[in-house]
Amino acid sequence: MQIIRTLALPVLLAGFGAAQTITGQFDCLPAGGFQLCQNVWGARSGTGSQQSTLNSASNTTVAWSTTYNWANGPNAVKSYANVLSNAAKGVQLQNVASAPTSWNWNYASQSAGIRADVSYDIWFGTASSGQPATAASSYEIMIWLSGLGGIQPVGSQITTGTSIAGHTWNLWKGPNSNWQVLSFVSSAGDINSFNVDLNDFFKYLIQEQGVAPTQFVQAIQTGTEAFTGNATLVTTAYSVSLVSK
Ligand SMILES: *[C@@H]1O[C@H](CO)[C@@H](O)[C@H](O)[C@H]1NC(C)=O
Ligand SMILES: *[C@@H]1O[C@H](CO)[C@@H](O)[C@H](O)[C@H]1NC(C)=O
């Protein structure tokens, strides 16, 4: 039996194949229950490049990394390399029973003075479906697990040290295009191992920030907004699901 197991292991590993890398400005890659996208939407505000690699993927969990070198335009976002869940969407906030998520990440390398966040980007709207950052969007909810180099979210800070889901956050609020942005920024530095129920944030937004419980979760993305610097950000495991009542 031992011999069979030893022989079987490489076959299982080969089932996923080699890691796949994307380099184009708006390249995307199917990634099990997710989609990995480069999303280098702000390239014109600086100079540099980025590539993103899918390391493993299943219906529930994805592992990936992104490597970037960005200079100039220190206050402008160059990119949001991210994974989008194919399944965690289309549920009205009042019908969410739970939204468990787990994200383990680290910087494999990082230049001095890097300006970047590591963040969820969650989109709400009045319709059950809608693409992120479009006319269908009512709210953009960011959760910053890291914000390095003095960068700030959209708008202005409206709370300090707010406790949600076992962590403390400074909440920022402001408009962008046709939607409102609410950004929870970790007030205790980087959170490299994040295991929470996102519904704790959704309930807070309804009870304390006037978000209508009839809003639908339209998309949940996780990734990194890079401003300037060179880094490789590695997600060793990420999962999210949206459970209806
Ligand atoms: C993965 O998801 C697809 C589409 O929802 C489903 O058909 C398939 O059974 C799932 N596979 C596993 C192993 O859960
Ligand atoms: C980033 O990488 C580029 C290209 O390798 C290099 O020229 C630049 O000096 C690096 N910047 C920092 C801040 O390390």
Q: Which of 204, 205, 218, 196 is nearest to 103 (CA)?
A: 196
- Concatenated DSSP letters for 152-205? --SSEEEEEEEEETTEEEEEEEEEETTEEEEEEEETTS--SEEEEETHHHHHHH
pTM of the model: 0.92
pLDDT at 6: 40
Looking at residue 91, the DSSP 8-state letter turns out to be: E
Q: How far is the CA of 241 from the centre of ligand 1 (A)?
A: 14
- The residues, any chain, with a CB within 8 Å of residue 223's CB and separated by 6 or more, are 39, 66, 80, 81, 82, 83, 118, 119, 121
Q: Which residue from 118, 121, 111, 122 is spatially nearest to 235, judged by alpha carbons?
A: 118
- Report the domain count for the chain: 1
Confidence of residue 3 (pLDDT cuts 50, 70, 90): very low
- The finding on whether 111 has its CB within 6 A of some atom of ligand 2 is yes
**Mean pLDDT for the stretch of residues 9-25:** 67
Q: In whole angstroms, what separates CA 136 from the centre of its chain?
A: 19
pLDDT of residue 1: 34
170 inside domain: yes
Ligand 2, atom 7: closest residue by C-alpha: 69
- What are 231's two structure tokens? 């880094």
Please indicate, yes or no, if residue 5 is contained in any of the structural domains: no
Res. 17 pLDDT band, cuts 50 70 90: low
pLDDT at 15 over 80: no
Predicted pLDDT at 13:
40
User: Which CATH number belongs to the domain containing residue 56 in this structure?
Assistant: 2.60.120.180
pLDDT tens readout for residues 76-102:
999 999 999 999 999 999 999 999 999
Q: What is the mean pLDDT of residues 35-53?
A: 97
Distances (CA, A) of 95 to 33, 100, 199, 240: 22, 15, 10, 17
Higher model confidence: residue 169 or residue 6? 169
Tell me the per-residue pLDDT of 182-215, one tens digit each, with 9 for 90 and over. 999 999 999 999 999 999 999 999 999 999 999 9
Q: What does the pLDDT look like over 57-78, one tens digit per residue?
A: 999 999 999 999 999 999 999 9
Contact assessment for residue 97 and residue 243, using Cβ atoms and an 8 Å cutoff: yes
What is the span of the domain harbouring residue 102? 20-244
Pairing of strands 179-186, 139-148: parallel
- Is residue 4 domain-resident? no
In tens, the pLDDT along 157-182 reads 999 999 999 999 999 999 999 999 99
Pocket test for ligand 2, best of 49, 68, 230, 232 (most atoms within 8 A of CB): 230
Give the pLDDT of residue 100. Answer: 98
* Residue 8: inside a domain: no
Summarised one tens digit per residue, pLDDT across range 106-161 is: 999 999 999 999 999 999 999 999 999 999 999 999 999 999 999 999 999 999 99
**Is residue 169 assigned to a domain?**
yes
Residue 74 lies in a domain: yes
Instruction: Quote the strand ranges of 45-148, DSSP E.
Output: 47-57, 62-71, 79-85, 91-92, 96-98, 100-110, 115-125, 139-148
> Binning pLDDT at 50, 70 and 90, where does residue 2 land?
very low
CA atoms within 13 A on the CB side of 156: 1
Nearest-ligand number for the alpha carbon of 229: 2
CA of 59, nearest ligand number: 1
**Percentage above 70 pLDDT, the chain:** 93
134 lines ligand 2 (CB under 6 A): no
Asked if residue 11 is part of any domain, the answer here is: no
pLDDT grade, residue 216 (50/70/90)? very high
Residue 7 in domain: no
